[in-house]
Each structure stands twice: as structure tokens, then as C-alpha cells.
């Protein structure tokens, strides 16, 4: 049902898909990060701030997704940016190979809309807002890649091989631990990662169906193999005994072309 719905969406809207969308996002992330490092207040002008939005700064409804938490700016930061960008390029190519451009776009825009919706919801319900929530979109890209390509290996510090699923698990654990102090924070984080939650649910359902189908095929093959192995090669034309039911008997083919056991073999 979900697959047919996605196929219908793809047939109707695939012409609007942006190939390489995650690559463009990576370039925007880097550009905004560098601008924020050079002008410390730049990222604050982009981040989600409902008071400012209500005053007319509507661009924040979109730009918050790119606003980074800028720390110290040094050579290590530049190195991190370079390798991070290369990884996002790899994630982009791999996810588009797995899903196609349209579904990759759907995942990215879904992540953006989930984050925006929960930011607005928390302002309206709890009068609470959280800064730099754009990190959830980047995290959802990492998590989705690790879900489909868990054995992909990164050399940490250029020497230590580490599967991507471990990096994703550590990232998720750190995000989870930072939210445990408040159920509201935890629920907000899960809501912002709604695109990944949806994909994970779909992934597990498909795997479960494939596992059940594979198990059914194995049982069918085993049953057919058993039935074929139980088939007798000789069957006595008189008493019906077979080389399976009566392995102690000997069977011969008589001149008339029929099989006979040694008890009913016609006399010459």
C-alpha cells in the first residue's frame, strides 16, 4: 500500500525532483558555516526565532535549517568541513542510487517539514523554542545512509577504520543522552527526525516481509525435496511394494517392461 502510494507520487511529481539535492545542501551548509565563522552574528540571523518571525523575518522559516552551531574556527574545523562535505556527497550519491532522486527529495523535504512543524508546535503549545534545530536534518541523512549501508567504512583520523553504523549509533546516543533530562526535548527531537522514523519503520516492515517470504520459499523447497526423495524408483506391479517401503527386497524389470519385487518376479 505504501509502495503503491509512493509510486503514484513519483509518477506525478518526479519531474520536479532535484538530482543531487543533498550535494547542494552540503555546499549551503559549508557556505553558511564559513559566513558564521567570519561574522559571529550571521547564524543568529538565520536561526528559528518565532518572535523575530512574527515581526516579519519570514526567511527564518527556511534558513533555520542551515544555521550551524559555530564553535572555534581553526585548521581542524576546516579539515572537518572538507571531510564532512565529501561524506555528504557520498551519502547523496548512495541514497539516490537506493531511492532515486524523487524519494531522496521526499526524504529531505520531509525532514525539513517535520522540524519546522515541531518547532512551531512547541512554540504554540509550550511557548518553547530550541536553537539550531537544522542539525536534525543533517543527522537524518547520516542515519538513513547508515541504515542502508551499515558496512560502509570511514578511516577516522585517516588510520582507524570504523563502520558508518557505529558513527551513526554514537551520534544518535549522544543526541539521546542530551535530551533525557526533559521528555519535551526528547519528543521534540524524535518529531524532528520524523522522516528517519518513517523510513526506518518502512525498512523494517519490508525486511520482515522479505524474511517471511524467504522462509516460506525455504520450507516449500524442503517439502518438495523431501517429497522427491520419498519417490520410489521401483514399484512392484503385483503387490505395489517399492524400494522405499520395502528396502530389503530386490526389484527387477521383467520382459513385459514392468517392475516386480523378488517375491512376485514372473517365472521364466
Burial environment of residue 180 by CB neighbours within 10 A (0 to 12, 13 to 18, 19 or more)? exposed
Pick from 170, 188, 168: nearest CA to 180 = 188
Q: What is the pLDDT of residue 229?
A: 46
Residue-averaged pLDDT of the chain: 86
Percent of the chain with pLDDT over 70: 88
Please state, in angstroms and rounded to a whole number, the distance separating the CA atoms of residues 175 and 152: 22
pTM: predicted TM-score of the whole model, two decimal places: 0.78
Q: What is the pLDDT of residue 263?
A: 78
Question: Are 164 and 153 in contact, with CB atoms under 8 Å apart?
Answer: yes
Provide CB contacts within 8 A for 25, sequence distance 6+: 88, 108, 137
Q: pLDDT at residue 206 above 70? A: yes
Model confidence band, residue 252 (pLDDT cutoffs 50, 70, 90): confident
Please state, in angstroms and rounded to a whole number, the distance separating the CA atoms of residues 174 and 187: 15
Please state, in angstroms and rounded to a whole number, the distance separating the CA atoms of residues 192 and 36: 23
Pick from 207, 95, 211, 205: nearest CA to 146 = 95
Integer CA distances (angstroms), 132 to 70, 81, 112, 140, 166, in order: 10, 17, 13, 15, 24
CA angle (231 as vertex; 230, 233 as ends), nearest 5:
125
Please state, in angstroms and rounded to a whole number, the distance separating the CA atoms of residues 198 and 86: 26
C-alpha cell at 238: 503385483
Residue 86 phi, psi dihedral angles, 5° rounding: -60, -40
Question: What is the domain partition of the chain in residue ranges?
Answer: 2-211, 233-268
61-94 b/e (C-beta count within 10 Å ≥ 16 → b): eebbbbbbebeeeeeeeeeebeeebebbebbbeb
pLDDT in tens, 140-173: 999 999 999 999 999 887 788 999 999 999 999 9
Helix (H) or strand (E) holding 160, with range, is strand 160-163
Q: pLDDT at residue 254 above 50? A: yes
Collapsing DSSP states into helix, strand and coil, what is residue 23?
Answer: helix
Q: What is the pLDDT of residue 242?
A: 82
Q: pLDDT at residue 266 above 90? A: no
Q: What is the pLDDT of residue 70?
A: 62
Amino acid at each position: 500500500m505504501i509502495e503503491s502510494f509512493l509510486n503514484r507520487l513519483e509518477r506525478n511529481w518526479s519531474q520536479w525532483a532535484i538530482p543531487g539535492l543533498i550535494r547542494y545542501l552540503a555546499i549551503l551548509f559549508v557556505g553558511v558555516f564559513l559566513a558564521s565563522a567570519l561574522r559571529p552574528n550571521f547564524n543568529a540571523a538565520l536561526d528559528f526565532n518565532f518572535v523575530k518571525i512574527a515581526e516579519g523575518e519570514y526567511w527564518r522559516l527556511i534558513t533555520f535549517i542551515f544555521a550551524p552551531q559555530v564553535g572555534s574556527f581553526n585548521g581542524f574545523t576546516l579539515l572537518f568541513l572538507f571531510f564532512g562535505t565529501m561524506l555528504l556527497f557520498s551519502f547523496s550519491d548512495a541514497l539516490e542510487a537506493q531511492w532515486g532522486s524523487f524519494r531522496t527529495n521526499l526524504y529531505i523535504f520531509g525532514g525539513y517539514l517535520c522540524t519546522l512543524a515541531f518547532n512551531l508546535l512547541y512554540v504554540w503549545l509550550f511557548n518553547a523554542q530550541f536553537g539550531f534545530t537544522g542539525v536534525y536534518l543533517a543527522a537524518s541523512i547520516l542515519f538513513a545512509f547508515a541504515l542502508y549501508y551499515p558496512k560502509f567504512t570511514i578511516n577516522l583520523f585517516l588510520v582507524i577504520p570504523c563502520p558508518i553504523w557505529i558513527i551513526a549509533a554514537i551520534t544518535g546516543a549522544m543526541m539521546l543522552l542530551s535530551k533525557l533530562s526533559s521528555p519535551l526535548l526528547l519528543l521534540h527531537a524524535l518529531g524532528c527526525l520524523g522522516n528517519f522514523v518513517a523510513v526506518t519503520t518502512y525498512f523494517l516492515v519490508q525486511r520482515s516481509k522479505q524474511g517471511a517470504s524467504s522462509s516460506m520459499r525455504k520450507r516449500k523447497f524442503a517439502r518438495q525435496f523431501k517429497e522427491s526423495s520419498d519417490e520410489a524408483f521401483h514399484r512392484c506391479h503385483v503387490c505395489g511394494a517399492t524400494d522405499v517401503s520395502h528396502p530389503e527386497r530386490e526389484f527387477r524389470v521383467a520382459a513385459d517392461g514392468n517392475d516386480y519385487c523378488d517375491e512376485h518376479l514372473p517365472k521364466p
